Structure 1
Amino acid sequence: MNTPETPESPETPEMPDRASHRPQDGDLRDVAILGGSLPAATLATVLAAGGARVTLIDEGRPPAFPPGEMGVHAAGLFRVLAERYRAPELARTATVKDIHAHVTRTVGAEHCHSFVYHREGRPQDPAELLQVCPPKGAPPEPHFHRPDIDAYLLRCARDRGADVRRGAKVSGAAAGPDGAVVRLADGSEVRARYLVDASGPDSPLVTGLGLREEPVRLATASRTLAAHMTRIRPFADVVADRAASYRPPMPWHRGSMHHLTDGAYLAVLPLGNHPDSTGGLFSVSLTLDARRFPAHEGAAGPSPEEEFRAFVARFPTLADQFAYAVAESPWLATGRNQYAASRTGGDRWCLIGDAAGYVDPFISRGLGLSLETVNVLARRLLDAVNDGDFSAERFAVVGELTRDHLAANDELAAMVHASLRDPELVRAVLFVLEVGFRFGGFPMLTAFAELRSSGSDAALRALETAPYRGHVFAGHEGYHRLFTAAGATCAAVAAGELDARTASERIFRSVREAEFVPAAFKLGDPAARSLRITPVTLLRLALWTVRGAPKDIAPLVRAGIKSVLRGR
């Protein structure tokens, strides 16, 4: 999907060396954070940069769910966090260039997003694909090798003065009006004025308070097999005998590939397609409809790799592409992906990220939403540290935001999974999402530009309460209606109440008729095999904002275009 680029941050200075000594057992900390993955480490960094006394406790367990390695949404938020909280080291995770220079050479560059439909037993049909390309010349968004990125962010937190405890096992956690306490397996305790649990599905707080929602309210039902792999054949080589039928605007290897079929999608993210990258590593995740393809029970079933191999063998083009592929990490296999907590906050505590819930790995949407929560939570925590007000009311919006994010991501994932029954329905849904992603980054771009030019975060604060939070184009009533109608149409197909062809025609028509979708987007052709923003597109879009754009969207688009142009 296509999101507008955020302006490049200025050259980031070296981090100050503020590594702290381990506080004594029983010393009161301002904030204790459970978990060591990207959201937890980012929060610890910005809080420590703001002067808070932070202890982060990371058991160091492998992730229970795909951690999210597509940085399309997250990269821009790292720039915002770096500027807002005066933590320039975070900006080093926002661009391929900076990641390569400061963090790791294992980084992918997202120059295009390719969606390729497959039918069992048949070679892939080139008429059943869609490639989406960002503006020509725009810097690529990164694909994160999460082990390296998470380790870097933990170093950032430590260098800022946070007390980072790796490999410390938590035996219990509690919080109340007077503060929070985390009990460790070695008998020691960490006491804090506030507790943030970002640890994941086995959250000590969720377990201790009995918050695991059973049955989960989320509509999506999926499960995932994932690994890092090498020796995946280039897609161009696999279809070389039919090269004249493909000819994409951008070479396939320059971005992510999402292989789609009835009941499943297979995401392949290159982590070594940057000229200076090393290793030829790919992030590979196969996500299946858990109702149609339930997980095997007991030890008698196939291993995750065996199940993956059996799946790709059903599709000749995929079988060729993965014929020599080798897993370079242990396979991760989930049961049903979806879970949620019945509450996400209370007196002196809150849940964020995977501790609060998880939906689906599609386009790593949950990763960016977790960073949005960090952005909203960090400000309130720093204010609370300064004025002593840790009341639940101050943090109520964080819980509301978390619930909205889960619900919005669930609607998106459920719609995508339902659309997989038919390639035309998939394309219709991708067109709806493309509308949202093209517009959806503009509010944050505008707020970021204001922050950099004036130092005011007023526009960022306003986004915290925008309607339809968590959606790809939050705050816009017209897009919400378009998205909701498309979701209902796909749900009718999944329920057997509507045929896929009629459903796709209905969704395409709603996109064409939406007054806020400009002709410059060229979304009127259901047979289009590529969607690309060119300089001509931007010019036509600018003219549209003064000649016919709705009044609620024209200023937003103009400001967004200016931010994009200033950022190149």
Structure 2
Amino acid sequence: MNTRDPEHPQEQAPRDVAILGGSIAAATLAAVLAANQVQVTVVDEAGPPPFPQGEMGVHAAGLFRILAERYQVPELARLSTVKDIHEHITETVGAEHCHSFVYHREGRPQDPSELIQICPPKGAPPEPHFYRPDIDAHLLRVAQNRGADVRRGIKVTAAVPDADGVLVSLSDGSRLRARYLVDATGPGSPLVAGLGLREEPARFTTATRTLTTHMTRVRPFAEVVADRAAAYKAPMPWARGSMHHLTDGAYLSVLPFGNYRDRAPDMVSVGLTLDTGRFPAGDRAGHTAEARFRAFVARFPTLAAQFEDAVAEHPWLSTERNQYAVSRTVGNRWCLIGDAAGYVDPFISRGLGIALETVNVLARRLLDAVADGDFSLERFAPVDDFTRCHLDANDELAAMVHASLRDPALVKSVLFVLEVGFRFGGFPLLTAYSELRSTGSDAALRALETVPYRGHVFAGHEGYHRLFAATGATCAAVAAGELDPRTASERIFRSVREAEFVPAAFKLNDPAARFLQITPVTLLRLALWTVRGAPRDIAPLIRTGIKTVLRGG
């Protein structure tokens, strides 16, 4: 990838599409378009990576598989498995064999009764943790190899849309004209600034800020609690997946890289996300981001021991406030995607999934527009609605999670509700992918763009929407001081038990449960349930999921 050179004229012939930014979403879209003979130019400032980054591939891995098949870019499918990333792209990749949530109380060692580990079905391949510097650079190379014009190290100074396209001015004095512009630069978007699109303040309920870096010499959690090893015996070793350390007003996510060979990770991603209401900005005056992180973990003996010798491998990044929103994400001849379109919270990297889902719905419209010359606002307006729905749904989820952090029992009840959604929510997309592979038709994927409650973890299902909304309202009452957290958790667990679409085989009705697993016995009980009492809208999803597990994912 070269920066501008004398061979580039000051203003070359118009391109079909110009993409601003070199993030995972920008590079993926560029690869899709270039692979389908669209003339595309990518302009990437190539500075420090935009913050916050999405590194958990919990939802993104499946989307890469779909994008590869739908748009005939097989290179993208290699990003869907840890094995392929390790063999073909980078060794700096993590494997998510389990999701662990561990509650901490200030001044006390961690209580092993206040944790939960969630394990995917045995045999299901682990989803990847993306080391973004390597993955983003790789995707830009894929786009360039497919024919995209990739220009790195250049800053966009202005982007001005008009009736025929967009004129982009660059820091090297050159100008770029394109029939359509996609801005994926992030919160500092030149298009947002130029058109005055930023919402101040952002409309989202969630209000958080984050400190993050990559670290080495972080002690394995199992080693830290080795003196109580029996109490921490879990179905899966703790280092085999992500760990989310929770406390009132904050969560600390630790994502391992290099843990795919049954060994401790070489490096971990560390992100401390703080509720600004519980940890006001004034608390950090005069302190570096690392000093604030050290002061936080020092409050919790188990965390202090885990990070005692840890070393940051990159400069710390910090935010004033994570939440960022714009008044619209689509206009005449332009579209905002990824963090440029809005951002909520780093929790389980939902923002990365939203960005790739937007690429999926935008790409087909761009391909059609380039083919027939119709770049009308009406064609792209649904992308704005799609993006806003996803961001607003993520805000509801993040606000609910942050409100639940007041009490470990409430946290567990919320995680159980989310687990119901995650276990069911991926099946419609999986079914659509299967139809695409078997018939070549993307009709089922198109249909998913307009289902009710899109953007939620289990879109399209009325019963789950009611459960999710009731849980969110209960947590909001706790946050407002109107409801006791323990009473709230009991209410939520009761709602889960009474939901007819939640099978007993999931074992989500026990507030004391610490480990959630899908075992062969679970699959058998689920199969029997599909013919003996499962709701008609749930039974096909269960059968699809069982078939997927038996095929090894």
- Which TM bucket (shorter chain)? over 0.9
Is 1:377 the equivalent of 2:355? no
Name which of 42, 48, 70 aligns with 1:62: 48
Is 1:280 the equivalent of 2:266? yes
Q: Show CA shifts across 1:253-298 (max 9, x none).
A: 1011000000000000001212299970100000000122122489
Equivalent AA in structure 2 for residue 477 of structure 1: E
Counterpart contact for 1:441–1:473, Cα < 8 Å: yes
CA distance in 2, matches of 1:563, 1:110: 18
Higher mean alpha-carbon deviation, 419-428 vs 458-467, is at 458-467
Equivalent AA in structure 2 for residue 185 of structure 1: S
CA distance in 1, matches of 2:331, 2:52: 28
Determine the structure 2 residue equivalent to 1:154: 140
1:562 CA drift (Å) = 2.2
Q: Show CA shifts across 1:164-210 (max 9, x none).
A: 11111111002132111111122211111110111100111110010
1:541 CA drift (Å) = 1.1
Counterpart contact for 2:15–2:41, Cα < 8 Å: yes
Name which of 96, 107, 123 aligns with 2:82: 96
- After superposition, the Cα gap between the structure-2 partners of 1:510 and 1:278, relative to the gap in structure 1 and judged at 3 Å, is closer
Name which of 527, 538, 542 aligns with 1:553: 538
Name which of 441, 448, 454 aligns with 1:456: 441
**TM-score, normalised by the number of residues in structure 1:** 0.94
Counterpart contact for 1:296–1:302, Cα < 8 Å: no
User: Partner of 2:377: helix, strand, or coil?
Assistant: coil
User: Partner of 2:379: helix, strand, or coil?
Assistant: coil
Counterpart contact for 2:212–2:317, Cα < 8 Å: yes
Determine the structure 2 residue equivalent to 1:409: 394
Q: Show CA shifts across 1:293-333 (max 9, x none).
A: 122489x5110000000000000000000011000011001
1:99 CA drift (Å) = 0.3
Name which of 467, 471, 475 aligns with 1:490: 475
User: Partner of 2:549: helix, strand, or coil?
Assistant: helix
Determine the structure 2 residue equivalent to 1:338: 323
- After superposition, the Cα gap between the structure-2 partners of 1:454 and 1:202, relative to the gap in structure 1 and judged at 3 Å, is same
Counterpart contact for 1:75–1:95, Cα < 8 Å: yes
Q: How does 1:343-354 map to 2 (within 5 A)?
A: 343-354=328-339
Determine the structure 2 residue equivalent to 1:433: 418
User: What stretches of structure 1 move > 6 A for 4+ residues in a row?
Assistant: 276-279
Is 1:261 the equivalent of 2:261? no
User: Partner of 1:393: helix, strand, or coil?
Assistant: helix
Determine the structure 2 residue equivalent to 1:13: none
Name which of 447, 450, 467 aligns with 2:452: 467
Determine the structure 2 residue equivalent to 1:239: 225
Counterpart contact for 1:223–1:335, Cα < 8 Å: yes
Determine the structure 1 residue equivalent to 2:59: 73
Name which of 142, 153, 161 aligns with 1:175: 161
Counterpart contact for 2:102–2:243, Cα < 8 Å: yes
CA distance in 2, matches of 1:345, 1:565: 42
Determine the structure 1 residue equivalent to 2:194: 208
Determine the structure 2 residue equivalent to 1:118: 104
CA distance in 2, matches of 1:254, 1:220: 30
Q: Which runs of 5+ in 1 are unaligned?
A: 1-20
1:83 CA drift (Å) = 0.7
Determine the structure 2 residue equivalent to 1:14: none
1:25 CA drift (Å) = 2.3
Is 1:563 the equivalent of 2:548? yes
**TM-score, normalised by the number of residues in structure 2:** 0.97
1:22 CA drift (Å) = 5.8
1:246 CA drift (Å) = 1.3
Determine the structure 2 residue equivalent to 1:141: 127
Is 1:129 the equivalent of 2:115? yes
Is 1:536 the equivalent of 2:526? no
Counterpart contact for 2:404–2:475, Cα < 8 Å: yes
Counterpart contact for 2:211–2:319, Cα < 8 Å: yes
Equivalent AA in structure 2 for residue 58 of structure 1: D
Counterpart contact for 1:32–1:196, Cα < 8 Å: yes
Counterpart contact for 1:106–1:278, Cα < 8 Å: no
Determine the structure 1 residue equivalent to 2:346: 361
User: Partner of 2:90: helix, strand, or coil?
Assistant: coil
Counterpart contact for 2:256–2:265, Cα < 8 Å: no
Query: Paired residues, what number?
Result: 547
RMSD: 1.4
Higher mean alpha-carbon deviation, 275-284 vs 515-524, is at 275-284
Name which of 18, 22, 28 aligns with 1:32: 18
1:61 CA drift (Å) = 2.4
Is 1:314 the equivalent of 2:309? no
1:64 CA drift (Å) = 4.2
CA distance in 1, matches of 2:273, 2:209: 6
Aligned-pair identity (%): 78
Q: Which runs of 5+ in 2 are unaligned?
A: 1-6
CA distance in 1, matches of 2:50, 2:174: 26
Q: Show CA shifts across 1:442-476 (max 9, x none).
A: 00110111111111111111111111111100111
